[in-house]
Amino acid sequence: MTTATATRPTQTRQRSRINIPATYVLGLSVTLLIVLGVIIVADSSYAMAMSSKSEHVRHSPYYFAIKHLNWMIIGCIFLACGMAIGHKNVRKLAFPMVVLTIIGLILTTHHATSEAVQDSRRWISILGFHAQPSELAKFAVAVFTASVLARTDCKLKTNSLGLKITSAFALLVAAVVAKEPDLGTAIIITSTYFCILLSAEPTQKQVTRLLTILLIAGLIFVGVKDGQKQRVLTWLKQGVGTTADCYQTYHGRLGLGAGMVIGRGPGAGKEKHYLPEANSDFVFATVGEEFGFVGTSVVILLFSCVTWAGLKIAKQAKDPYSRYLAMGITCWITIQALINMLVVTMTVPATGVPLPFISYGGSALVMSMTGFGVLLSIGANTQPPSRPRIRVERPSV
C-alpha cells in the first residue's frame, strides 16, 4: 500500500525593509530638540538672570526662558508659513531675500543702526526691533544658490555662469559677516554653499578654484584680525590655565567632564554660574554637566537623525531645485550643530555659534524653524520609496 506524502507549497518571501518616511523622523527629531531646548534654556538662564546687572531681570528668574518661549512661538508661526507657502513659492522670494540680506548686512556696518555686543556688531536695532541679518543670510544663500544652479544645472560643466553668480554672492555675504566679526557664521555660509555646489556635480577644476579662494581668504582674515588670531592661539594652548583667554572654553570642557555618565542632575550644574553664554553658545556644556554622557549622546543622535532625514529628502527630491535646497538646509543645520559641539569640546577654536533648536536666541531659532518648515515641504513632495516586491516560489511538479 503506497502512501502519498502531501507536500505543502513552500513560499519564500523576501525580507522587506521597514521604510519610515523621512519627514516623520525629521519632525520627531526636531520637536524633541526644541522641547529639550526649552528645558535647558530655562535651567541655564536661571543662573544668568540672578546674576544680571539689570534689576528688572533679577526680579524675574525666568526672564530669558519666557523670552525664549515667545521666540519659539514666533518660530512655530514661521515654520507653519514655510510649510504652507511651500518650497516652490519660496523660490520666488529668492531675489527679495537677497536684497533684504544685503541691506541688513550693510546696516550692521553703521553705528547708528547696529548694536555692539561683546565687540561684535551682528545685530541691527530699528524702532526697538532687534534682528541678526546673518541668520537670514544662511537661508538666503541656500535658496538663491539652489534657484540659480537649478536653472543652469545641465550647463554647469560647460557654462560656469551660475557658478560665478552664486559664488560671488556667497563669498560677498561671508566676507561682510566675517567683518562683523562673526567667523563662525561665515564658515557656515561658505560650507553650506559648497555642499550645494557639490550636489550639482561641478568639474574638479571648479571645485579646486573655489577651495583655493576660500582657503586663502580664511588665512588672510585670521592673520589680520587680532581677535581671531588670539582665539586660534588660545585653542592651541588646549586649556592651559584659567586665564581670561581660556575662560569660556576651560569652563565649558570642565562642565562636560563633570557630568560623567548620567550627569549631576537637572538644575544641579555648577559651571553655568561661570559661563557667560551658558544658555546659547555653550549650552552643550550645560547638557553634558547635568545630563552626562547619556544626555549629550541623545542630542548627537537627534541631530544625526535630522541629517539622515534631510539627506534622504534631498535624494528623493523630484527636481534639481528641491534637491539643492534640501541639501543646503540640511548642511546648514548639521554644520552649525557640529561647530557648536566641537567648540565646547575644544576640538576647534572658539567661535560664537548657537546650537540649532536648543540655544537661547531669537533670529537663530526663528530662521532654523523656518528652514525646517521648508524642508518638511520638500519632504511632503518627494518621490515615495518603492515597496519591496514579494517573490513566491512554487514547487516544481
**High-pLDDT (> 70) share of the chain, %:** 77
Question: What is the pLDDT at residue 1?
Answer: 45
Sheet with 129-131, edge to edge strand ranges: 114-117, 120-126, 129-131
Mean pLDDT for the chain overall: 80
2 has pLDDT over 50: no
223 has pLDDT over 90: no
Question: What is the pLDDT at residue 3?
Answer: 47
106 has pLDDT over 70: yes
Each residue of 347-375: pLDDT tens digit? 888 787 899 999 987 889 999 999 999 99
79 has pLDDT over 70: yes
Q: Are 325 and 374 in contact (CB under 8 A)?
A: yes
**Coil, strand or helix: which one is 389?**
coil
Q: What is the mean pLDDT of residues 143-163?
A: 77
Looking at per-residue pLDDT, the higher value among 344 and 158 belongs to 344
Q: Cβ atoms within 10 A of the Cβ of 219, count?
A: 10
Each residue of 286-296: pLDDT tens digit? 898 889 899 99
The residue type of 95 is F
Whole-model pTM: value is 0.85
Spans of all domains in the chain: 35-380
User: 3-state secondary structure string, 206-266?
Assistant: HHHHHHHHHHHHHHHHHHHCHHHHHHHHHHHHCCCCCCCCCHHHHHHHHHHHHCCCCCCCC
214 has pLDDT over 90: no
Question: C-alpha 338: how far from its chain's center?
Answer: 8
Q: Which residues contact 55 (CB under 8 A, 6 or more apart)?
A: none
Q: Which residues contact 47 (CB under 8 A, 6 or more apart)?
A: 272, 273, 278
Lowest mean pLDDT among 21-35, 90-104, 207-221: 207-221
127 has pLDDT over 80: no
Each residue of 67-78: pLDDT tens digit? 889 999 999 999
- Which of the four pLDDT bands, split at 50, 70 and 90, describes residue 276? confident
CA distance 234 to 226: 12
Distance of CA 292 to CAs 16, 289, 360, 365, Å? 37, 5, 20, 25
